[in-house]
A and B are shown apart, each in its own frame.
Chain A
Amino acid sequence: MKKHEEPPGRQQDTALPGGSSNKKMLGGNALQNQAPILVMDGITKEFPGVKALTDVHLKLYPGEVHALMGENGAGKSTLIKVLTGVYTFDKGSVMLEGRPVRAATPLEAQNLGISTVYQEVNLCTNLSVVENIFIGREIMKRGRLDWKEMTRQAKELLKTRLNLDIDVTKLLSSYSVAIQQMIAIARSLQVSAKVLILDEPTSSLDQNEVNQLFNVIRKLKQDGLAIVFVSHFLDQIYEITDRLTVLRNGKWIGEYMTADIERLELVSKMIGKDLNELAHTEKKSGKSFENNNLLLQGEKVCKKGKIAPFDLNIHEGEIVGLAGLLGSGRTELARLLFGADKADSGEIKINGKKTSLASPRQAISRGIAFCSENRKTEGIIADLTIRENIILAMQGTQGWFKHIPKKRQIEIADEYIKLLNINPPNPEQLIKNLSGGNQQKVLLARWLVTNPKLLILDEPTRGIDIGAKAEIQKLMLSLSEKGMSILFISSEIEEVLRTCHKIAVLRDHEKVSEIENARHITQKDIMEAMAGGHTEQKNNKEAIAGGVAR
């Protein structure tokens, strides 16, 4: 198997046992000595026309963190929903502590001791923390709610089980998503959960918050809870989980010790093919764009409360990465360049001419396209077809009354379906029936049709599977070779390093450094710039200066 190139960097990587030869189906392991707390056996679930799960197994031991791995559409969510009583299953059995169970509603599952914390925290932000923990199981005293006792217990629960010392009488909405997630976990614990399912808990957390969550998970593990962990982040899987089960296309692929399966192998199990293709998107060597035409030049552009004044030059054909933690001001910066927000001061020049970007319409007319981060809410129009979604932006630039013949529309759609490998390759398919990765591709196509000079991509690869990710990265590189400039926002540093020519690092709503991507630049360099720190900062800047000087 060809090893896919991965820049060294995050500490977790080094903790991995190397070599793929020692992988095995779960064998003599300490966990085996215990009886499993949950056994799902031969689970089959059919929806009209689709077999969502075929003969799937899942075994959980107390005190383990178990990853459920698979691409989008592999059946992870369905399996979780079966387990938590949202769906019923057609065939198979679920045994909890040796007894067969069959939860018909989430409430029944909760009462059995199976709780789920979803990606979007499913609590009520308009209620206080105490209420969120206790609602549905309130403590009564003489016919009325005993707020005093509930407050006391909530405080104690958060403190002893989660190391969280917060004011529990405040509204949930006054806390960050990370804390809200902990509170959701606390709610599950309050029902004395035996099995806790964390569905993509980290996707909207920054690194600090992830660490905080992981500490909690480790503590709960010690307390003997069985935890199912679903995440797209491989690093996190290797950091926190003990074992993992891989699903693909609704089928059970295997169960492995996390420490025994190498990344590359895991990924190939998930997508069911070699990752040779991924290896093609090698890290860009320091290619200079100084001589290319300067497409966009931002000077001291600033919006109060959103982003501190920044300079940014984007040359023709250059891919500029925006790295930074969640909430560091990446999207805010991009929105200024797209005219979605108006800058307070500073100036933006396009092709040397000073321009005001006061609205997205103006930005579009100057050849800027923006592919937004929330494809669900800001991007796709679910009930339209692939063709209609692709044509939208083009229609916008052409004027709404100029009709584009349907034949021409289909031609265009077909062209991009082929170019981007959109699946299913049917222009009349409704976009809501597509997987996340394919929806993303349609969005990309929508902007590519307008033939922009600068394409802003805000987290285009978030939440999509690895195969689609690689395709999008490859596409970016080929667009850049054709002379299109790209501003690429991503939380995955590795991805930024692999695709970008230049990387602007943001921290706390400020552009803190700009790094020419040369061969010796590693994830660690970028991470340091992103994280900042008090004493290192100076060294950091020197290192970056060195990087720029090459």
Chain B
Amino acid sequence: MTKGLRVDTKHLPLTATLALFVIMFLFGSLRYTGFFSTQVFLNLFIDNAFLIIVAVGMTFVILSGGIDLSVGSVIALTSMVAASLTMNAELPPVMVVPISLLVGTVLGFCMGCLIHYFHLQPFIVTLAGMFLARGLCYLISVESITITDEFFNFMASTRIPVGNGNFISISVIIAMFVVAAAIFIAHFTKFGRNVYALGGSEQSALLMGLPVGRTKIMIYTISGFCSSLAGLIFTFYMLSGYGLHANGLELDTIAAVVIGGTLLTGGAGYVAGSVVGVLILGIIQTVIVFEGTLSSWWTKIAIGVLLLLFIVLQRIIVARSSTSQVSAAAN
């Protein structure tokens, strides 16, 4: 097998994702007038900033071979905590923001500890976390809490011009900052490499003397923090706290990460891929909005089809690389 081909195999999922995004954008541009504009593109980021942030956290989890089902509930819980602290307790944003961010971070840390120290399945632990967080929302209030705070209003409505009358929101800036930090962490820190190693083979990582436990706990803490940050941004976006917010979002997030080319078995994938994955989910929605007559459930159908396609693609890549391995060994 040639060198070029092998590099291709490694980046194939990411390349496929990018190509898909471009194709979908071109398709939309050709079919609908007004689709091909910078603002439509920027809106993808504005509408999905929170999803990008959760997906970044989820990427670390999935890279390590785990899963985090609690993210959607944590978003709801964060929005609830932020809303009730602002509206009921009337705390200033300087206090509301850090406390809200702690919600997911602490929950993530606890789930990480459970997973590591008791050798529990991440699926079950985070499933419990999901129910717990969702339930806690209703403990705070069963009703939606509308936020009328100045700071929240400012965060929600500020438009940052980027030339030609186009704009982005503050949330996009935050999301981009998170993405940049995550890429740095994944590729230029020891922690990042440990995550990949853990996803490759936990047994090997242990025998190589890597801090497996610390890394695992850290991963879930990061995912929890990202969920809470996303929860805050979601609150800016919705200007309310509600126990039904982000229902089922964990599955959208996992879908975005997988479509972004990260192997569900762990060990391979890129943060940038997950961002593109989110954008693809976003563009499906945009297409459906432009189409006008389609029901929004078509989003789910499209996501389902894409997800299937990508899982099959990954399977083929894994199978192919293992056969190339065999032939290499035989030579």
Contact = CB atoms under 8 A, between A and B. Distances in A.
B196 interface: yes
Interface in A167-201: 167, 170-171, 173-178, 187
B329 A123 contact: no
B325 A131 contact: no
A136 B210 contact: yes
Given A125-B201, A127-B193, A136 B208 contact: yes
B199 interface: yes
B293 interface: no
A145 B193 CA distance: 10
A429 interface: no
Contact of A123 (B189, B190, B204, B325): B204
A247 B92 CA distance: 73
B197 interface: yes
A105 interface: yes
What class of interface size applies to chain A in its complex with B?
20 to 34
A126 interface: yes
Nearest to A187: B208
Interface in A34-75: none
B208 A135 contact: yes
Interface of A: 105-107, 110, 116, 118, 122-127, 131, 135-136, 138, 140, 144-145, 167, 170-171, 173-178, 187, 326-328, 509
Given A144-B184, A173-B321, A126 B268 contact: yes
Interface in B181-218: 184, 187-190, 193-194, 196-197, 199-201, 203-210
Nearest to A86: B207
A178 B330 CA distance: 11
Contacts of B330: 326-328, 509
B197 A145 contact: no
A187 B208 CA distance: 9
Contacts of B188: 144-145
Contacts of B190: 135-136, 138, 140, 145
A118 to B, nearest CB: 7
A176 B268 CA distance: 20
A127 B196 contact: yes
Nearest to B198: A124
B277 interface: no
B331 interface: yes
B329 A124 contact: no
A176 B328 contact: yes
Contacts of B329: 176-178, 326-327
Given A123-B204, A126-B199, A127-B196, A174 B267 contact: no
Contacts of B194: 135-136
B269 to A, nearest CB: 10
A106 B193 contact: no
B264 to A, nearest CB: 13
Contacts of A124: 196-197, 200-201, 204-205, 208, 267
B10 A171 contact: yes
Contacts of B196: 124, 126-127, 131
Q: Which 9 pairs of residues, A with B, have the shortest CB-CB distance? A: A124-B200, A107-B209, A327-B330, A126-B267, A126-B200, A144-B188, A122-B204, A176-B329, A122-B207
What bracket does the count of chain B residues touching chain A fall in?
20 to 34
A135 B328 contact: no
B6 A170 contact: yes
Contacts of B6: 170, 174
A275 B184 CA distance: 63
Contacts of B197: 124, 127, 131, 135
B324 to A, nearest CB: 8
A504 B301 CA distance: 56
Among A177, A327, A328, A509: residue with most chain B CB under 10 A? A327
A177 B208 CA distance: 18
Contacts of A127: 193, 196-197, 200
Contacts of A106: 206-209
Most buried by B among A106, A122, A167, A509: A122
Interface in B287-331: 321, 324-326, 328-331
Contacts of A174: 6, 324-325, 328
Contacts of B325: 173-174, 176
A362 B207 CA distance: 44
Contacts of B203: 122
Contacts of B206: 106
B9 to A, nearest CB: 9
19 contacts: A122-B201, A123-B201, A124-B201, A125-B201, A126-B196, A126-B200, A127-B193, A127-B197, A131-B193, A135-B208, A136-B208, A136-B209, A138-B190, A144-B184, A144-B189, A167-B3, A173-B325, A176-B325, A187-B208
